Structure 1
Amino acid sequence: FATRLAPQSLLPEGEEAFPLEALPLLEEPGVALAAEITRWPQVVAGEEGLLEGILRAHLLGRRAEAHGAGASYAKLAALAAAGLDADHEALTAEEVLNRLRLGFWTMLRHSSLRPDLPALLEGLPLPPSPRLLLTTDGAAPSFYAREGFPGLLRRVSAWAGPIEALRLATLNPATFLALDGLLGGLAPGRLADFLLLEAPDAFAPLAVYVGGELVAREGRLLEPLPAPPWRKASLGFVRAPFGDPDRYLLGSAPVLRLENAVITRQTREASEGVAAFLLDPPGAGPGRSPG
C-alpha cells in the first residue's frame, strides 16, 4: 500500500486538519510508499511539514514519490534534493529522460485517463533503464477488463521485447519499493506469489498462485478475495445550523466543471428554486438511501 503525506486538495484547513502525527499509516508494515505528493511547489518552496514527512518516510525505510506534473528540470532537481525518489507525470520521452538523469525512478503511465505510453516509448533508448516502471494511474474498471496490465506489457514488449517488459512490471518495481528480497523473483525465502504464462510474450496468466496456493486459473477465481483488514472508521454528519436540522438549503451550489479527462475547475451555479439535501432520511437504514 501507499499513503499520502498531505491531502490532494488545497483546503484552507488542510495542514491543520491533517497534521503529520495524525497519519500513522507510514508505520504500518503493509505500507511501502509515501505516494503522489501533488503539492510539489510547496516542497520546492521548503514547506516544513512536507519536508518532515519525506524525511520520516525515509527514516522508516519507505520511498517517497512526487506528482511532478509540469515541473521544469530545475524544479525536478529541487524535488530530488528534497528526498523524492520517483515520479509518474512524464508526458514525453524527453521528460522521462530528464527524470532518469536526476536519479528518479520513473513510471511509464498508460490508462483510460492518461494513454501516454506510445508517446513515451517512441523516443526512449534501448535497453530500458532499470529505473523504469509501469503504472496505470487512474484507470476506469472497463480499462482493466479491456486491456489492463497485459496490454501495457504487450506495448512495451513490441518496443523492448517480452523479458524487458516483464522486468518493468516485476523486478524493477520490487527493487524500487526495497522489497526485492521478497518480491520480483523466484528464489528460496521469497514470497511464493507468482503467475504462470504460456510463453514469455503471452501476458494473460494461465494460473495465479498466492502463498504457493493456486487461486485463479484461465481468468477464473478459485478462491474468494480476502477482505482487507480495514480499521473501523468513525464518521458522522455536521448538522446545518439553521431551519430544519436535517436539511441544507442552498441558493447556489459549488460545481466541478470537467475541462478535459484530467482537469476540473470549481465554479458556483445558481440553483433553480431551492435545492434541499436530506440527511438520515426517515426509513433509510444503514447503507441505504431513498429512491
Structure 2
Amino acid sequence: MRTLAQSVRTLGAVATGRRHADLVLTDCSLVNVYTREIQKNIQVSVAGQRIAYVGTDASHTIAPGTRVIDLGGRHLTPGLAEPHMHIDQLVTPSEFANRLLLRGTTSLFSDPIDIVSVAGYRGFREFVRLATGLPMRIFNMVPGGLPVDDKFGDVKTLTLKEEAEAIKLDGVLGLGEVFAWTKVTLQDPRTIQSLVQMLEAGCVINGHTAGASDRKLQAYVSSGILSCHEPIDFEQTLERLRLGMWIMIREGSIRRDLAEIVPRVLSSGTYIDRLMFCADELNPVDLEMYGHIDHCIRKAVELGMNPVDAITIASRNCFDYYGMGRELGGIAPGKLADMVILDDPGSFRPRMVIVGGKIVVRDGALVAQAPRRRVPGWLRRTVDLAELSAADFAISSKKPSVRANTIYMATEIITRPGSQDLPTRDGNVPASRDRDIWKVAAFDRISGTKRSTVGFLENFGAEIGAFAATKNFHENNLIVIGMDEEEMAMAANHLIRSQGGMAVVRDGRVVADMPFEIGGIISTRPFERVRSDFEGIDGTIADAGCKFSRPSLIPVFLPFLALPSVRILHSGMVDVKRRTLIPPIV
C-alpha cells in the first residue's frame, strides 16, 4: 500500500485535473460522517487506493482510461470497522474476511489471544501472516490478558521482549484487552511493565473493565487504558465516558447490549463520538442469521438512532480511537478508498463494496475472495496427549457414598458451587443420570505437563454419553463432559487423534464432530461447512434434551478464570473469587 506521503503528488494532480482518476463514482448520495449529513449529487474520484476528489463535478478527473460508475442516487458510506473481535477461532481469517466483506465490514481489529495461549509468540506471528494480504484490512493487537491467573493457568504468552518485537510487525497496533483489571489496580509488576512499554511506544491499549467502578476504574483508566467493550447498561457506559474512555457497545454471540444502551444514549442526548459497535465474539451461525456491524446499524436505527449517526459510530469513531483518522473512517480527499454502496443507509444492505479503490463485492457477491493460505505442520499438532481410558475419568473413594462438590450450570456461562451425595461403585464415584450429575474433566493438552482434573457438573440434562472440546477461553484445555466414562474416553480420543475440535458421543459412536485443525481452535474448512458443523454440535446436544440452547458454550467457558464462580481446568476446580482449589469430594 502506498502511504499518503507517497501519494500526495498524484492526489493533488488528480484533484486539480492535471492527471486522470482511475475510478469515478457519480450521482452519489454521500453519507458524510464529518458533518453528519447526506449530500446529494456528489461525485468521488479515486486515484490508486486513495480518494482524490469529493464534490459536485469530477469531470476534470475523467479521461478515456477512467472507469466511471453511475450510482443512480444510491448511498455511499465509508467502509465499516470492527474495533475488537477475537477471530482466532472456528474459521480462518480468510473465511471471516470473505463473509464480513459481504456485510460491508472493510476493517477489523483482531485480538488473537487464544492462538497465543496455544502457540505463544510463534503462533502470534503465524496468525498475523494468515491475516495479511486479504481483500479486507485486518489489524492485530498483542494479547494483553495472559495468563488470566498464573496461580492456576499454564498457558503460553509473550515475554516483554516478544511484545516489543510484536508491535514492530506490520498491522500490529498495540495491546489487546487487559481483562485482568485487578493486575492493574494492584500494580502487578509484569502487567505494569507491559503497559509502560506500550505507552512509551505510543501504542493503543484496549480495556476490559467488567466489575470495576469508582476508584478501581479510575486507577485502571489512569494507566492509559482508554476503551472498554464490557458495559452492559447505560450507567456503566456513562461512568466510563465521563472518565474519557471510548465504549465499544457489544452485539455478538456472547452478549447483545445495544438494546440496553442505545435508547438511553438517545434519550439522554449523550455525546456519541466516543461510541463504537463491536461483536467481540461471533460464531458462523449468528453471522449468517443477524450480520455483523451492519446488524448493529440496523438495530440502532430500529431503536431510534439517526442512520447517519449509526454509520458514524460504525466507521469514523473506530479509526479516531485508533489514531488512524488521517487514513480511514470517512469519504474525503486523501483517505483510503474503502466505501460501501447501498440503497438505504438505515437498512444497510450492501450492493457494492470497495476496498482501496478496488471493487471486492458487486451485487451482493464476492468478486475478490481472500486467498487460502497454507498452515505449517507444527500449528496442526497441538494436542499433546496420549490416548485416554475410562480409568482417567475415575474419582476414587473407599467409602460407600460421598459428598461431592459440583459445578452447577445456571446458564451456559454462569456457574455456582453445588453439592450432592453420590454413591460409590467398585471404588469409583460415577455420574448419576437420575440426578443430572455429570463427570467433567480437564486435561492440559498444550504444555506437556500431563496434568488433569476430574470433577462433577450439575444441570446439563442431555441424553448423550459424552461431549468433548479442545477450544476454550483462554486455557484451551481438553474439556470432557460425560455420563459414561468409556464414552468420555472415546470422545477425548477422537479429538486427540484429529488434533482438536468438538465431538459428541452417544451409544458408543461419534454422532457429531467439528474438527479444529489449526491450534485445536480453528477449522480449515470453508465457512459454510464450519457453520453446518457448528449447528450439528449444538443441535445434537440440544435435541438430546440439554437444558441450554447453546451447549457448545459450556466447555468454552468452564475453564475461564475471569468469571466467577467455579471453574475447572487441568490444575483443579477453582473458586475464582477466593483463588482457592475445591476438592471434588468433601
| TM-score, normalised with respect to structure 1 | 0.82
Work out the CA distance in 2 between the residues paired with 1:264 and 1:25: 36
Letter in 1 for 2:144: L
Q: 2:300 — aligned with what? A: 156
Counterparts of 1:173 and 1:121 in 2: how far apart (Å)?
Answer: 17
* 1:130-171 CA distance string (max 9 Å, x none): 111111111222222122222210222243301110111111
- Match for residue 133 of structure 1 among 276, 293, 301: 276
Look up the match of 2:234.
Answer: 93
Give a deviation string over 1:46-70, Cα, whole Å, max 9, x none: 0121122222223333211111111
Report the residue type matching 1:105 in the other structure.
Answer: W
Deviation larger for 94-103 or 12-21: 12-21
Cα distance change on mapping 1:151 and 1:210 into 2, 3 Å = same
* Pair 1:262–1:66, CA change in 2 (3 A): farther
Q: Which residue of 2 aligns with 1:223?
A: 368
Helix, strand or coil at the partner of 2:177: strand
**Cα separation, partners in 2 of 1:8 and 1:138, compared to 1, 3 Å:** farther
Change (3 A) 1:239 1:90: closer
Contact in 1 for aligned 2:276/2:317 (Cα 8 Å): yes
The more displaced of 9-18 and 112-121 is 9-18
Name the counterpart of 2:144.
5
Deviation of 1:204 after TM superposition, in Å, equals: 1.5
Counterparts of 1:264-283 in structure 2 under 5 Å? 268-269=454-455, 272=485, 275=489, 277=493
Whole-Å separation in 2 of the counterparts to 1:54 and 1:233: 34
Query: Using the alignment, how far apart are the partners of 2:141 and 2:384 within structure 1?
Result: 33
Output the CA distance in 1 between the equivalents of 2:366 and 2:408: 39
Aligned twin of 2:189: 48
In our comparison, the structure showing a higher alpha carbon Rg is 2
Aligned partners of 1:40, 1:116: CA distance in 2, in Å?
Answer: 21
AA in 2 matched with 1:189:
G
Instruction: Tell me the amino acid that sits aligned with residue 289 of structure 2.
Output: R
Partner Cα separation in structure 1 for residue 197 and residue 377 of structure 2: 25
State the Cα RMSD in Å.
Answer: 3.2
CA distance in 2, matches of 1:52, 1:33: 14
* Bigger mean CA deviation after superposition, 75-84 or 106-115: 106-115
Task: Give per-residue Cα distances to partners, 1:192-247, cap 9 Å, x unaligned.
Answer: 121112233231111001111111123211111134798x574556866xxxxx43
Once the two structures are TM-superposed, the CA of residue 251 in structure 1 deviates from its matched residue by 2.6
> Contact (CA 8 Å) 2:359, 2:367: kept in 1 or not?
yes
How far has the Cα of 1:28 moved from its partner? 1.8
**Aligned match of 1:170:** 315
Give me the whole-angstrom Cα distance separating, in 1, the residues matched to 2:284 and 2:368. 21
Aligned-partner residue type, residue 370 of structure 2? L
**Range with greater deviation from structure 2 (253-262 or 55-64):** 253-262
What SS does structure 2 have at the residue aligned with 1:143? helix
Q: Which amino acid aligns with 2:313?
A: L
CA distance change for structure 1 residues 152 and 160 in 2, over 3 Å: closer, same or farther? same
In the alignment, is the contact (CA less than 8 A) between 2:342 and 2:349 conserved in 1?
yes
Q: CA deviation at 1:173?
A: 0.2
Distance across 1 between alignment mates of 2:414 and 2:195:
27
Distance 1:44 1:59 in 2: 20
> Do structure 1's residue 213 and structure 2's residue 358 form an aligned pair?
yes
Aligned residue among 39, 43, 47 for 2:180 = 39
Matches within 5 A, 1:230-269: 232=376, 234-235=378-379, 236=381, 246-249=386-389, 251-252=392-393, 259-263=410-414, 268-269=454-455
Larger displacement relative to structure 2 (185-194 or 9-18): 9-18
TM-score by length of 2: 0.43
Q: Partner residue of 1:65? A: 206
| Unpaired runs of at least 5, structure 2 | 1-139, 396-405, 417-439, 442-453, 457-483, 499-516, 519-586
Q: Distance in 1 between matches of 2:361 and 2:278?
A: 23
Separation of aligned partners in 2, 1:175 and 1:186: 14
Amino acid at match of 1:137: D
Is the contact between residue 113 and residue 261 of structure 1 (CA under 8 Å) also seen in structure 2?
no
Alignment-derived partner of residue 162 in structure 2: 22
In structure 2, do the counterparts of structure 1 residues 70 and 192 end up closer, same or farther at CA, with 3 Å as the change threshold?
same
Q: Structure 1's 209 and 93: CA in aligned 2 closer, same or farther, altered over 3 A?
A: same
The alignment partner of 1:94 has SS state of helix
- Structure 1 pair 117/239, CA: closer, same or farther in 2 (3 Å)? closer
Shift of 1:190: 2.0
Give SS of 1:172's match: helix
More strand by share: 2
1:80 aligned to 2:221?
A: yes
Q: Give 1:284's aligned residue.
A: none
Query: Could you tell me which amino acid in structure 2 is paired with residue 169 of structure 1?
Result: A
> Once the 2 structures are TM-superposed, how far is the Cα of residue 248 of structure 1 from its aligned partner?
4.0
CA contact (8 A) 1:66 1:86 kept: yes
- Cα distance 1:253–1:72, how it changes in 2: closer, same or farther (>3 A)? farther
